[in-house]
Amino acid sequence: VGDVGLAPRAVLLDLDDTIFDHSLTCRAAIEVVRGEYPFLRQRPVDEIWWEYLTMLNGPPPSTGVPPTSAAMREERWRTVARSCGADLGPDEVRALSNRYRAVYLDHRRAVPGAVELVRRLAGSARLGIVTNNEVAEQEEKLRFLGLEGAIDALVISEAVGASKPEPAIFHEALRRLEVAPESAVMIGDSWTNDVVGAEAVGIRAIWFNRFGLPRPDPRAVPELRSFVPPAEAAALVLDAARASRNEAGARP
């Protein structure tokens, strides 16, 4: 079959906050729940939202058995309620947390342009999703987005037994897509997990930085601030993939 010019072989994508709009779904749900629970109006919605995301992205508690995602969510809501001056009992915390979860599911959405970007890329490269979370939850998100058919490998930390930025999860994605690291590009919003993690195994990274955050270190990594218009975003991704193969000595 031979080498088809400089066409990239594989594009790896993060899921949460790269394709699936976790952060803005979260904000929309907090806004609704805040309308229903007066004590939450002690604090501005964006303050609660930022605190909630910070807790979500922080390390899980390291004591005892690993908590379930429901238990961790209840803990986050206990903390938020306390910061608003409400000391809730276990049943009240559970009710609040469950209500948030239900509203969250109702407000799910894709990152603008992401679904079309994935569909465009699917015509040019093998596609993998590399994501940290539970299998059932991530599979459900992909179904919700209507993208199951467009993805060649869904690589989830719970199934692999390793999480980004650990090399093992990236190696598993490359193995399943049957590509070498220099033939792949990784796109993700997390500097540590997606950019640093991918580069550590020799995969070129593109930072998806839609909130315009400052660059945590000066490494030369292409950046995308939006996937709109998707055709332009796809072109940038494919160029980065080509550049990565050129540097690795790939021949036309």
CB of 52 to Mg ion, least distance (A): 16
Q: Which residue has the tokens 């961790």?
A: 72
Q: Give the x/- contact pattern for Mg ion in 193-212, rule: CB under 5 A.
A: --------------------
Q: Is 147 helix (H, G, I), strand (E, B) or coil?
A: coil
Q: For residue 16, state whether it binds Mg ion (rule: CB under 5 A).
A: yes
CA distance 220 to 24: 28
Q: Which residue is nearest to Mg ion (CB)?
A: 17
Q: Is 129 helix (H, G, I), strand (E, B) or coil?
A: strand
Distance between alpha carbon 183 and the CA centroid of its chain, in Å? 22
Q: In this chain, which stretch among 36-44, 87-95, 99-107, 187-195 interacts with Mg ion, using CB under 5 A?
A: 187-195
- Number of residues in contact with Mg ion under rule CB under 5 A: 5
Cis peptide before 181 (omega within 30 of 0): no
Residue 224, φ and ψ in degrees, nearest 5 = -115, 130
Q: For residue 17, state whether it binds Mg ion (rule: CB under 5 A).
A: yes
The C-alpha torsion from 175 through 123 and 24 to 153, rounded to 10°, is -20
CA distance 155 to 105: 22
Residues 6+ apart with CB under 8 A from 232: none
CB of 244 to Mg ion, least distance (A): 21
CB of 210 to Mg ion, least distance (A): 11
Q: In this chain, which stretch among 87-95, 165-173, 188-196, 222-230 interacts with Mg ion, using CB under 5 A?
A: 188-196
* Closer residue to Mg ion, CB minimum distance, 83 or 163: 163
CB of 215 to Mg ion, least distance (A): 17
Q: For residue 21, state whether it binds Mg ion (rule: CB under 5 A).
A: no
Contacts with Mg ion by CB under 5 A lie at 14, 16-17, 189-190
